Amino acid sequence: MAKVNLDVQLLEVSQNAIALIYAACRQCYSEKFAGDFFMDEGADLKKQEEFVKKIVASGHQSPLEHVKFSFAIQGVSRALTHQLVRHRLASYSQQSQRYVKEKDFDYIIPPSIEGNPEAKKEFESLMAAIQQSYTKLSQYLGQDNLSGETANQDARFALPQAAETKIVVTMNCRELLHFFAHRCCARAQWEIRALADRMLSICLEKLPAVFAEAGAKCEALGYCPEGEKFCCGKYPPK
């Protein structure tokens, strides 16, 4: 058992992303066939990038759905992934506690607990106690001649939300912009905000024409939509 840290790796991004968004958008307004001008060898990539920037700024975001990013994520808690999967326009493949036995599970410690010696001691003691109980439950269920899969699926009821998990996430650019708008906000829970910030840095590096202005809602609005009570002060409340 050990405390673990966030790790995000890009598995794949759609090839020829700018050309793909450009062709999809042009198809909306052109009598020509997108298949004829997609990947045109004579195309000016710089002009296409500028075109895509204007599309993003205009709010015409449906062409962005044709480009996707896939991430491998580890060092996050089950508490985080419960929030993450609420973004429904995405694909998820998460490590199963039913098929993967948590014989020595790692965990995430919230900063507020990490910074308080007494709280940290209590938290780590609790994690150790849960691990011990989980192991005993698995053994008891095994004595009842339940298969490993069945024993795991019932013993996992004792596992905490702090337990570390691994997940593969795929989102298209439009959903990523929505995800960043909500989860890069100071109001977002600290762990998912850290994940969103890491994902945004990767997206910005790979596709700046789309993500140059991405981030918390206030960045695009120029004001805080959360109201005075929840405003962090970066922008004035509406």
Both 170 and 212 in a single domain?
Answer: yes
Find the CATH number of the domain harbouring 214: 3.30.1360.170
Both 39 and 145 in a single domain?
Answer: no
pLDDT given for residue 218 in this prediction: 93
pLDDT given for residue 54 in this prediction: 93
d(CA 175, CA 210): 12
Structural domains in the chain (count)? 2
Both 148 and 172 in a single domain?
Answer: no
pLDDT given for residue 133 in this prediction: 96
Mean pLDDT of 86-103: 94
Per DSSP (E only), the strands in 27-67 are none
Does the pLDDT at position 48 exceed 80? yes
Is residue 158 within 8 Å of 137, Cβ to Cβ? yes
Residue of 156, 174, 183, 193 marked active site: 183
Estimate the crossing angle of helix 190-206 against helix 173-183, to 10 degrees: 140
Q: What is the largest CA-CA distance in the chain?
A: 70
Burial 51-85, CB ≥16 within 10 A → b, else e = bbeebbeeeebebbebbbbbbebbbbbbbbbebbe
Both 26 and 144 in a single domain?
Answer: no
CB within 8 A of 220, min separation 6: which ones?
181, 213
pLDDT given for residue 41 in this prediction: 66
68-85 pLDDT per residue, tens: 999 999 999 999 999 999
State both tokens at 196: 């969103």
pLDDT given for residue 145 in this prediction: 66
d(CA 84, CA 66): 21
Mean pLDDT of 110-125: 97
pLDDT given for residue 147 in this prediction: 67
**Average confidence score pLDDT of the chain:** 93
Both 36 and 152 in a single domain?
Answer: no
172-197 pLDDT per residue, tens: 999 999 999 999 999 999 999 999 99
Residue 88 lies in a domain: no
134-156 pLDDT per residue, tens: 999 998 988 766 666 788 889 99
Residue 78 lies in a domain: no
d(CA 67, CA 45): 16
- Let me know if 183 is a catalytic residue: yes
* Structural domain of 39: 9-73+165-221
pTM over 0.85: yes
Of 23-37, 88-102, 115-129, 208-222, give the lowest mean pLDDT range: 23-37
